[in-house]
Structure 1
Amino acid sequence: ELFLKGVRRPWGMVLITGPTGSGKSTTLHTALKFIKSPRKNIVTVEDPVEYRQPGIQQVQVKSEIGFDFARSLRSILRQDPDIIMVGEIRDQETAQIAVKAALTGHLVLSTLHTNDAVSTLTRLVNIGVEPFLVASAVNVAAAQRLVRKICKDCKEPYRPSADELALFAPDPGPEVLYRGRGCKSCRNVGYAGRMALYEVFAIDSEVRRMLIDGADGDKIQRYAMGSGMVTLRKCGFRQAARGLTSLEEVLTVAADLD
């Protein structure tokens, strides 16, 4: 809901972070489908164009001839777009152009490579964007990971061990967790399909003040968690308690994140 609220806004930046293969591009394109309308001029800059969307102008980056993200972004800004999707912010120049676009009436969606949602803010600062510009431009930052779903045909409950329950602290932890026994449907692996875990951080006035004052990522992270942000790890534990994925899967992608 926080993420969708961010993409409904007429201007500003919405950033998604995660490693390669974590579904960032899929999430961005899903967001574009959600906000697409005949009245909106939407342009994407991608490397490569992974999903074709009717009604959206999609531009392919060609780094070998110098048509990189920064140059592509400058080019499409001349077309007066309402919404811009930048496949990835990789350098200072691209970041600065994207931030400027977000501050001049455009909604900008993009991705970064960081471990968690809060780190997207400090990453932009570290690559050379002024903190007050980051504070003014970014509306929402989200981290995501993909985990395997437990096979529905062989899912079985079990009582978690004391060590497993301790992972849920300070929450009490569930009485029952689930795992896949393995069957013909899932080729004996116990999993079928994948799902995303999300950590969504809405930037409020206090975070903007902290950024301008030079607060580091740890301080902002403590504030975010104190304000109720659900971390990737906690999101994963909730999905494990619901029986959608296993605790083992969650720990594989979010063992050190909290």
Structure 2
Amino acid sequence: QCQTMTSLSQADFEARLEAVFHQNTGESQQIAQDIDQSVDLLSLSEEMPANEDLLNEDSAAPVIRLINAILSEAIKETASDIHIETYEKTMSIRFRIDGVLRTILQPNKKLAALLISRIKVMARLDIAEKRIPQDGRISLRIGRRNIDVRVSTLPSIYGERAVLRLLDKNSLQLSLNNLGMTAADKQDLENLIQLPHGIILVTGPTGSGKSTTLYAILSALNIPGRNILTVEDPVEYELEGIGQTQVNTRVDMSFARGLRAILRQDPDVVMVGEIRDTETAQIAVQASLTGHLVLSTLHTNSASGAVTRLRDMGVESFLLSSSLAGIIAQRLVRRLCPQCRQFTPVSPQQAQMFKYHQLAVTTIGTPVGCPHCHQSGYQGRMAIHEMMVVTPELRAAIHENVDEQALERLVRQQHNALIKNGLQTVIRGDTSWDEVMRVASATLENKA
């Protein structure tokens, strides 16, 4: 099969290159303009013809305007994710705001294929392939803000679905002061990260802010005299002066393999995105014992539960006692809207819980709802933490293989439980009783 090649002059080539550049930057400029204006998504969706030509690259095309408007609205509302979902007779566009999904638009289902195909074009995915999941990314520069959009598509019985994760690189507050820790917990963390070696773990479920805490710690450690290397899945935020490596399962680049490799790169500090298996756990322990400060995450309900999880992975107790330096358990809760929150008397059940944790209180903050918070009663999120610094007494207990409940009792002699720190934020009116119970109720069994 023969193909005809067209020869372009230098002037023509530069003209075409500039046209492509202006097309891409034009979309970012349109999104930036939409952020400053009120966008009627419903009107835009109703204007779109069902047979929109996907090959039309005119920036005024309705499908492009609607995508730009959706992105601008998501950025304006500080959404973390955009969900484009297809069902038998309908489709739905939802934003995840402060950890909760909120329906934004339910346009004609015929628009689903157009929207998802346009997103796939922007993310450089194969628009003809609808049978398998695809992953890609879109980079937007809006004013002085860099927005990284992670795109994931998934085939379903009613058509493709897409989720767009928005990462605003300029909004990340990489400072220990912004983690929301108590003064005592922050001081303990600052002492921990100055250790020359050992393992520091951050634990909690998915979406509890573990990565943000790790990035804040890395930023605090990032000085010219240190070599800091990471293995992540994926690299969410790029940090200047830190060597970041990404897991790639297609070429067998796992956490364990990446960790082995970076240990040959003369690191002072190593960050492993997550300890998922026995091999990674054992390499991390050995790295800490050979003079490296190792940072990582685990999925456990409490700080003491991380010790049990590592034992279950096959790490010997005597190795854990020698390598563990500290563990931070954390959760994210929604902040009460300062414009409409109200303080109400505590119920008998609530009073009993506060009394159990030796906290005196008569009124607590409760959500109400107003236009400022879209009637949700909440605006923004904050973290609550539980610290576990491995003292000589705790180290001996871990070495002797004591159970999780015994470890928990020892930890409570030094630090507040996650639930108690959460209840203190309720007393201050930062968040609500329901929010703390939602994220910390699974830990109550261990605290009794």
Aligned partner of 1:199 in structure 2 is 386
Aligned partner of 1:208 in structure 2 is 395
Give TM-score, length-normalised by structure 1. 0.97
Tell me which amino acid in the other structure corresponds to 1:209: A
Alignment pair present for 1:246 and 2:432: yes
Unaligned runs of 5+ in 2: 1-186
Aligned partner of 1:168 in structure 2 is 354
Tell me which amino acid in the other structure corresponds to 2:390: I
Aligned partner of 2:12 in structure 1 is none
Match of 1:47 among 233, 251, 254: 233
1:134-149 paired onto structure 2 within 5 Å: 134-149=320-335
Q: Deviations over 1:129-157 (max 9, x none)?
A: 11111101111011000000000111111
The alpha-carbon deviation at position 172 of structure 1 amounts to 4.5
Query: Across the two proteins, how many residue pairs are aligned to each other?
Result: 257
- In 1, the alpha carbon distance for the partners of 2:359 and 2:239 equals 45
Q: Is the 8 A contact 2:301 2:442 kept in 1?
A: no
Cα RMSD of the aligned pairs, angstroms, is 1.0
Tell me which amino acid in the other structure corresponds to 2:332: L
Q: Deviations over 1:186-220 (max 9, x none)?
A: 00110000000100000011111111112111111
- In 2, the alpha carbon distance for the partners of 1:197 and 1:172 equals 17
Aligned partner of 1:122 in structure 2 is 308
The alpha-carbon deviation at position 180 of structure 1 amounts to 2.3
- In 2, the alpha carbon distance for the partners of 1:249 and 1:256 equals 13
1:213-228 paired onto structure 2 within 5 Å: 213-225=400-412, 227-228=413-414
- In 2, the alpha carbon distance for the partners of 1:34 and 1:172 equals 33
Larger radius of gyration: 2
- In 2, the alpha carbon distance for the partners of 1:182 and 1:4 equals 38
The alpha-carbon deviation at position 222 of structure 1 amounts to 1.4
- In 2, the alpha carbon distance for the partners of 1:153 and 1:111 equals 36
Match of 1:232 among 394, 415, 418: 418
The alpha-carbon deviation at position 91 of structure 1 amounts to 0.6
Aligned partner of 1:9 in structure 2 is 195
Match of 1:188 among 357, 362, 375: 375
- In 2, the alpha carbon distance for the partners of 1:74 and 1:13 equals 16
The alpha-carbon deviation at position 3 of structure 1 amounts to 1.9
Structure 1 consecutive aligned stretches of length 4 or more whose deviation exceeds 2 Å = none
Aligned partner of 1:70 in structure 2 is 256
Give the share of equivalent positions with the same residue, in percent. 46
Tell me which amino acid in the other structure corresponds to 2:277: D
Which 10-residue stretch deviates more, 188-197 or 165-174?
Answer: 165-174
Which 10-residue stretch deviates more, 141-150 or 2-11?
Answer: 2-11
Aligned partner of 2:295 in structure 1 is 109
Secondary structure of 2:405 counterpart? helix
Alignment pair present for 1:153 and 2:344: no
- In 2, the alpha carbon distance for the partners of 1:21 and 1:145 equals 8
Say which structure, 1 or 2, has more relative contact order (CA 8 Å, 6+ apart): 1
Which 10-residue stretch deviates more, 163-172 or 179-188?
Answer: 163-172
Alignment pair present for 1:35 and 2:221: yes
Secondary structure of 2:355 counterpart? coil
Secondary structure of 1:177 counterpart? strand
Give TM-score, length-normalised by structure 2. 0.56
Aligned partner of 1:100 in structure 2 is 286
